[in-house]
């Protein structure tokens, strides 16, 4: 055999790789179970939902990473809805009883007002009288309004009723302006984002205090459950949010008598044990809804995003999910609503290495790398020996041929 052939054979052996068969890569067992879905009519396209970082921890537990359905083992199938995502959770234990794409990020519409309440309600004196400004009433024409009049004087408590019953974007503007102090509305929006972070609502980014559509403004069904739990644990919020009607104060001379406003959350009159919630709709968000009810000693919340009015209005779809949730046994869950303490741990930076501890390897480096599997180590050792033997044989052949030429 020629030297060239021997070397080629040695190289070929080395390129074959491990002699022993490598361990197979772990199979992907995260099959997505589709959510029960009631197909809606054709609707205008909505903004694409940002993809979550796969390396980031899944707030609430790994089962909530799904883009489909998550229900406890043995649970009955939840009712079909037209919602793109939803969550049913226990407000007191924090157990998530079931979910559909819980971390899907979508436009919030007016359920964002729940985050405004969670942020500003503790900071504002309900008896403080606010004079409405032109900026408060200068909201987009397609906004929902309670009817503030520039120059009118309104107690903060009245503004909360206007925000939660009538979903007034003008009330949202006034509350955000006053709560923000010298920083105005922008400071309140920044505080809303800080409050979402504190609660562990990491899918949420507010741009407007009212939830009016804006680029890069998102939340998720899971985050809405966290925010609603914070609100519903405050008696003042429940008082505002559960009122069926409210007499809006007069603002003479333009409005000398005032008028009555009604609560848009029909769960309060259409579902036994209802304790609060919030409706929402924009072209980009479609129908969003948060509702809560109590049955016995159990309080559940349902959050619905991206729904149409098929097979029913959003609050009714929420009611069917509440019925399903109340039918689940205590302790059944697919995850949990994180506490503020758990959220703080999730957000904490990794601990600094102790002095003298080797730094982690940079990308492509070897420091800190996992040791190769035993089978692979043996395989490469065998290959190296084979290559060495072949090279020695090649050298021997060359020496023999040279010796023969010298003798001749």
Query: Hey, which residues are catalytic here?
Result: 110, 113, 167
What are 196's two structure tokens? 């979402």
254 carries a ligand binding annotation: no
Quote the CA–CA distance of 124 and 171 in Å, as a whole number. Answer: 14
Contacts of 80 (CB under 8 A, 6+ apart): 36, 37, 38, 311
Closest CA to 267 of 257, 259, 279: 279
Contact 173, 154 (CB under 8 A): no
Contact 97, 61 (CB under 8 A): no
Contact 163, 86 (CB under 8 A): no
Phi-psi region of 200 (alpha: psi -120 to 50; beta: other; left: phi over 0): left
What are 364's two structure tokens? 């492509």
289: β partners: 279, 304
Quote the CA–CA distance of 14 and 386 in Å, as a whole number. Answer: 8
Closest CA to 345 of 236, 212, 218, 198: 198
Q: Which residues are annotated as a binding site?
A: 278
Q: Which residues are annotated as a binding site for substrate?
A: 278
């Amino acid at each position: 055999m020629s030297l060239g052939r021997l070397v080629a054979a040695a190289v070929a052996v080395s390129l074959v790789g491990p002699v022993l068969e490598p361990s197979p890569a772990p199979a992907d067992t995260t099959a997505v179970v589709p959510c029960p879905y009631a197909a809606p009519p054709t609707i205008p396209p909505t903004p694409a939902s940002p993809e979550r970082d796969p390396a980031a921890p899944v707030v609430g537990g790994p089962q909530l990473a799904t883009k489909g359905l998550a229900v406890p083992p043995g649970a009955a199938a939840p009712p079909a809805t037209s919602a793109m995502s939803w969550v049913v959770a226990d407000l007191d234990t924090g157990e998530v009883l079931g979910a559909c794409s819980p971390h899907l990020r979508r436009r919030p519409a007016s359920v964002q007002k729940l985050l405004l309440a969670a942020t500003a309600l503790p900071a504002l004196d309900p008896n403080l009288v606010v004079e409405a400004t032109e900026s408060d009433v200068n909201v987009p024409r397609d906004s929902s309004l309670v009817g503030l009049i520039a120059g009118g004087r309104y107690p903060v408590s009245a503004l909360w009723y206007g925000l939660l019953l009538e979903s007034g974007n003008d009330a949202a503007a006034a509350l955000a302006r006053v709560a923000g102090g010298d920083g105005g509305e922008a400071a309140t929006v920044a505080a809303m984002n800080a409050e979402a972070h504190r609660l562990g609502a990491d899918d949420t980014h507010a741009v407007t205090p009212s939830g009016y559509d804006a680029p890069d403004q998102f939340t998720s069904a899971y985050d809405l459950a966290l925010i609603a739990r914070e609100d519903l644990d405050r008696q003042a919020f429940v008082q505002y949010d559960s009122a069926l009607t409210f007499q809006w104060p007069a603002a003479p001379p333009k409005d000398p008598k005032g008028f009555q406003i009604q609560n848009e959350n029909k769960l309060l009159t259409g579902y036994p044990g209802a304790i609060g919630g919030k409706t929402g709709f924009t072209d980009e968000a479609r129908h969003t809804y948060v509702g809560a009810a109590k049955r016995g000693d159990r309080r559940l919340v349902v959050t619905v995003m991206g729904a149409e009015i098929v097979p029913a209005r959003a609050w009714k779809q929420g009611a069917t999910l509440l019925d399903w949730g109340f039918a689940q046994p205590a302790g059944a869950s697919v995850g949990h609503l994180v506490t503020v303490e758990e959220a703080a741990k999730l957000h904490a930076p990794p601990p600094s290495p102790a002095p003298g501890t080797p730094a982690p390897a940079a990308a492509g480096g070897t420091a800190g790398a996992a040791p190769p599997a035993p089978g692979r180590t043996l395989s490469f050792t065998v290959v190296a020996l084979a290559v060495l033997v072949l090279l020695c044989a090649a050298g021997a052949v060359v020496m023999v041929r040279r010796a023969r030429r010298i003798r001749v």
